[in-house]
Structure 1
Amino acid sequence: MLGGGRCIFLFFEIGKPQTKAAQREERMLSLLLVGILTALVLLLFLSSRKRKNLPPGPVPWPLIGNLHQLDKSAPYKTLMELGEKYGEVFTIYFGPLPVVVLYGYETLKDALIGQAEDFSGRAILPVFERIAHKQGLVFSNGLHWKEQRKFTLATLRDFGMGKKNIEERVTEEAKFLVEFFQKKQEKPFNPAGRITAAVSNVICSIVFGDRFDTEDPTFQTLLRMVNENITFLGSRGFQAYNTYSYILRWLPGEHNKIFENARVLQAFLKGLIKDHIASRDPNCPRDFVDSFLNKIDEDANKPDTNFTMDSMTYTTFNLFIAGTETTASTIRWAVKFMMMYPEIQEKVHKEIDSVLGPGKCPSMEDRAQLPYTDAVLHEVQRFASIVPMGLPHAALHDISFRGYTIPKGTQVITFLHSSLYDKQYWEDSDHFNPNRFLDENGKFKKNDAHIPFGAGKRSCIGESLARMEIFIFFISLLQKFTLEIPAGESSSLELVNSGTRSTKPFNVCAIERV
């Protein structure tokens, strides 16, 4: 009773009008309490970091970590600055969670190749978990991922990835793209949509056995959704959702559109798979989907199989997106650079003319005879740094690396941009210079730090296909056209805020060569 009476008494005391002095005292007390709470949270962060023997890094703020420090439109720029300050491996915080960043080629090589198994885990961030449910080729771990990757690699090779028959499909799409450029009759146009459609049709022909009409509105809508989702990956909303998903999943926002896009894309893919089920001959698989259906039948009596209709949907979803955006973006970069550097474009024209002439279709067999063109494309990939931060890795167990401990569950950023711009391997790295890939005799020379596709067990599964597409599409266009900046338009290079480093939309004049 006395306790309850005391509480009632305090309630009425607080409710009484306060003097100005009392109000000031209350504000000071509130500020003091906030300060103490902030200090306690900060100490918790710092003691946790020390206890876990994490690499050094900037001091995080309570609740938000280091998110406020990241460049809103280009977070990789902030990571480059932090790498210069803290060195080869450092820690930042996304909200309350530590994230370890691997900086520079030597560090990436030691981790992804030297300790390949340790760093083979994928961080299944909340955005990715909600889209793929820890299934499929990209956003999974353990036995599921290993079996999906092994099967996908073998099947893509069976259907010609890196071989002559796939080259013929790429060449066919390149011809359609050239025809589209010709129809513009040397007038300004934005090439982005048609380049993306051409690249997407190559992976569609492998996975689904057929190409789409590039004018088909459904196909164009799907590609637009892919672009929207990729753009979201570079936004503050992406980091915010991954950090505070337990709140944001219930609130309106741009993230809901991304999840709806993914649902529509997956429903479309399920429709294509359903069509395959109705028309397939198990004894004569036509494409990747048919082969996956055969694998599902083969494992039908295995209670713990990783080959199901769901896993097929998510794997084809991964292939459709990965096989479209990054390669198309690289080709757009190449077109832009040829417009910006006409002297380089002229050298490419001369080399193509001397080796292929005006009519011979390019082939991967020609690459050795086109060292300057090959050097240009390698420099495009280096400079563009399409996926600067790579896809997030995760420590699936405690990892000892460079004298530090990366605790189980910690996200790891394999910072590819830091390798492609590593000053130890690239002189004057901020400038576009294809000659860095040529020796004193004009022959092509490799550079180990050139890893745009990543390295180790999680490297891009479609690297050979992407290299083929970039080479054949680029040469097909340069063989037929001189690419020029339309009169009155900017010649500068501007980037768009996206999950990949992409050029802002631009127009080109494709002048037919005679």
Structure 2
Amino acid sequence: MMISVILISLVLFLLSAQFLNMQWKSCGFPPGPTPFPIIGSIWWINFRADHRSLKKLAKTYGNICTLWLGHRPMMVLYGFQAVKNGLTNNSEDVSGRLQTYIFNKLADGKGILVSNGLIWKQQRHFGFGTLRKLGMGNKGMERGIQTEARYLVEFFRDKEGEAVDPSFPIVHAVSNVICAVVFGHRFSLEDKTFHQLIEAFDYIVAFGNSRFYYMCEMFPWFAEHLPGPLQKARFSRDFVCSFVRQEIKSHREKGRIDEPEDFIDFYLKQLEKTKNVPNSTFDEDNMVQSVFDLFLGGSETTATTLRWALLYMLVYPDIQDKVQKELDAVLSPSHLICYEDRKKLPYTNAVVHEILRFSSIVLITIPREAVKDTTVLGYHVPKGTLIMANVDSALFDPDYWETPHQFNPGHFLDKGGNFVTREAFLAFSAGHRACPGETMAKMELFIMFCSLLQKFKFTLPEGVKEINTDFVFGSTMKPHPYKLCAVLR
């Protein structure tokens, strides 16, 4: 009995000491919910970083506040000014990626997306330099997008106006753009392996901002031994990596490194070139993870945005009609849509940008980490502090958007009807970790969106009266499954 009392007293003493220590540590940080031992203050947002909980957090504690992920401080930025200045002032100082339990399980510090230091610098520089060689942002890439847009048009034409869920054909078209660049070939719509790849990525994305994700980060020893979402996410990741390794093996057998044709060829050539170079981070594990990251970044977000684009055309048929009238007035019916056309189509370009703003598919950035002691928005930030930016709050900031909660292409038009950029348009984030594929994503979205609206009028299936515009919560905010009819114009 005495031993039990002593143990309980000891535990209470340690918890009290930890609690007081956390209160002392939190004094230098922006205000926020009271942190507790072990769980920190993430409980305040119910283990879910969604737009409602973050808005409530900002309303209670201000646009710069602190959450504690266990014993680790995380500054949360809300609103355009806080997000922009927090990510761009001293940008290099906060360019790190947190190395968490889940990130280590899924990426092990490799590749581009969640790596740090020399690995990040070398893999990112090589990766995007190679993509530029392969045509990213120029006519070479544009031809690949136009090809996939044509296949997408053919898919809807073959349906002859019958109700269809557009999700998979859209994912297929967008993913094939990056597949052609990375793997050197595209997949057919019926390919079973491709279906499995998409399902694997879908699960990883859904897991990435779930309550279970946060629980795993806080109690890794608990998650390690339980069957469930984490194990399924690891299985999905292993499936993708296994596929990539098979592609690498196939490329090695073809022996094309002297005349590389795709990303894997270029990487194999780089492996040969740097095999005796000290401090080189080029190896097969980094190649696999880089391909994984490029595929994820080059397909998931753009495909999700295009799904929202068609949904909004159903919700706002008057806007669809105005886009089609502009397309008809400026371009001939046989014209092959190209990215330069956006300069002659200000209203359509404004609609595309409003789709990106209003869908706001990435609510928060992947947290960044201070790589050294620095200052963020007037606060001293010790090395290792996390910074989480609520991009969604910048895209809906009432101080910078006239009608933030309305779908309004006028946000991107001046009084003369000319297209204008907006400083609060941070759909692709900002600073050192901003999305490097912004031009490619805009090009894909514009060409595919215009190609579809040039050929079809999109309507609701017969008998459908209501449209669900709520999102499915995850790492990206997807629309609920829906069907539409593509009627040939």
1:235 to 198, 210, 221: 210
Give the equivalent residue in structure 2 for 1:493. Answer: 469
- In structure 2, give the amino acid aligned to 1:226: F
Q: How much is the aligned-residue C-alpha RMSD, in angstroms? A: 2.2
CA distance in 1 between counterparts of 2:47 and 2:68 reads 15
Deviations 1:436-469 (A, max 9, x none): 1100000001101101111111111211111110
User: In the TM superposition, what is the alpha-carbon distance from 1:294 to its structure 2 partner?
Assistant: 0.8
1:121 to 79, 89, 96: 96
Answer yes or no: is 1:91 the counterpart of 2:49. Answer: no
Give the equivalent residue in structure 2 for 1:132. Answer: 107
Deviations 1:279-316 (A, max 9, x none): 13222110111111111111011242111111111100
1:507 to 479, 483, 488: 483
Answer yes or no: is 1:267 the counterpart of 2:230. Answer: no
User: Tell me, which stretches of 5 or more residues in structure 1 are unaligned?
Assistant: 1-6, 15-25
1:360 to 332, 335, 339: 335
1:100-499 maps to which residues of 2 (within 5 A)?
A: 100-489=75-464, 490-499=466-475
| 8 Å CA contact 1:120, 1:457 repeated in 2 | yes
User: Tell me, which stretches of 5 or more residues in structure 2 are unaligned?
Assistant: none
C-alpha spacing 1:95/1:487, structure 2 compared with 1 (3 Å): farther
SS at match of 1:322: helix
- In structure 2, give the amino acid aligned to 1:381: L
User: In the TM superposition, what is the alpha-carbon distance from 1:182 to its structure 2 partner?
Assistant: 1.3
CA distance in 1 between counterparts of 2:206 and 2:366 reads 14
Deviations 1:104-156 (A, max 9, x none): 22223223222111111111222111111101111111111111111112111
- In structure 2, give the amino acid aligned to 1:219: F
User: In the TM superposition, what is the alpha-carbon distance from 1:31 to its structure 2 partner?
Assistant: 11
- Count how many residue pairs are aligned between Structure 1 and Structure 2: 488
SS at match of 1:412: strand
Answer yes or no: is 1:49 the counterpart of 2:34. Answer: no
- In structure 2, give the amino acid aligned to 1:206: V
CA distance in 1 between counterparts of 2:375 and 2:444 reads 39
SS at match of 1:339: helix
CA distance in 2 between counterparts of 1:74 and 1:242 reads 14
User: In the TM superposition, what is the alpha-carbon distance from 1:73 to its structure 2 partner?
Assistant: 6.4
CA distance in 2 between counterparts of 1:151 and 1:31 reads 56
C-alpha spacing 1:397/1:74, structure 2 compared with 1 (3 Å): closer
Give the equivalent residue in structure 2 for 1:4. Answer: none
**Which has the greater radius of gyration?**
1
User: In the TM superposition, what is the alpha-carbon distance from 1:41 to its structure 2 partner?
Assistant: 4.4
C-alpha spacing 1:178/1:401, structure 2 compared with 1 (3 Å): same
| 8 Å CA contact 1:340, 1:492 repeated in 2 | no
- In structure 1, give the amino acid aligned to 2:166: P
User: In the TM superposition, what is the alpha-carbon distance from 1:329 to its structure 2 partner?
Assistant: 0.3
| 8 Å CA contact 1:390, 1:413 repeated in 2 | yes
CA distance in 2 between counterparts of 1:204 and 1:230 reads 19
- In structure 1, give the amino acid aligned to 2:225: W
- In structure 2, give the amino acid aligned to 1:510: A
Moved more, 413-422 or 169-178: 413-422
C-alpha spacing 1:185/1:65, structure 2 compared with 1 (3 Å): same
Moved more, 152-161 or 41-50: 41-50
- In structure 1, give the amino acid aligned to 2:123: Q
CA distance in 2 between counterparts of 1:244 and 1:398 reads 28
| 8 Å CA contact 1:73, 1:497 repeated in 2 | no
- In structure 2, give the amino acid aligned to 1:329: T
User: In the TM superposition, what is the alpha-carbon distance from 1:40 to its structure 2 partner?
Assistant: 4.9
TM-score (norm 2): 0.95
- In structure 1, give the amino acid aligned to 2:64: V
CA distance in 2 between counterparts of 1:300 and 1:105 reads 45
C-alpha spacing 1:269/1:75, structure 2 compared with 1 (3 Å): same
User: In the TM superposition, what is the alpha-carbon distance from 1:428 to its structure 2 partner?
Assistant: 2.5
| 8 Å CA contact 2:41, 2:69 repeated in 1 | yes
SS at match of 1:456: coil
TM-score (norm 1): 0.91
Runs (4+) of structure 1 exceeding 4 A deviation are 29-41, 71-74
SS at match of 2:73: strand
CA distance in 1 between counterparts of 2:446 and 2:47 reads 33
CA distance in 1 between counterparts of 2:246 and 2:381 reads 43
C-alpha spacing 1:319/1:123, structure 2 compared with 1 (3 Å): same
| 8 Å CA contact 1:339, 1:483 repeated in 2 | yes
| 8 Å CA contact 2:89, 2:376 repeated in 1 | no
C-alpha spacing 1:105/1:165, structure 2 compared with 1 (3 Å): same
SS at match of 1:386: coil
SS at match of 1:482: strand
- In structure 2, give the amino acid aligned to 1:200: S
CA distance in 2 between counterparts of 1:204 and 1:372 reads 31
| 8 Å CA contact 2:90, 2:375 repeated in 1 | no
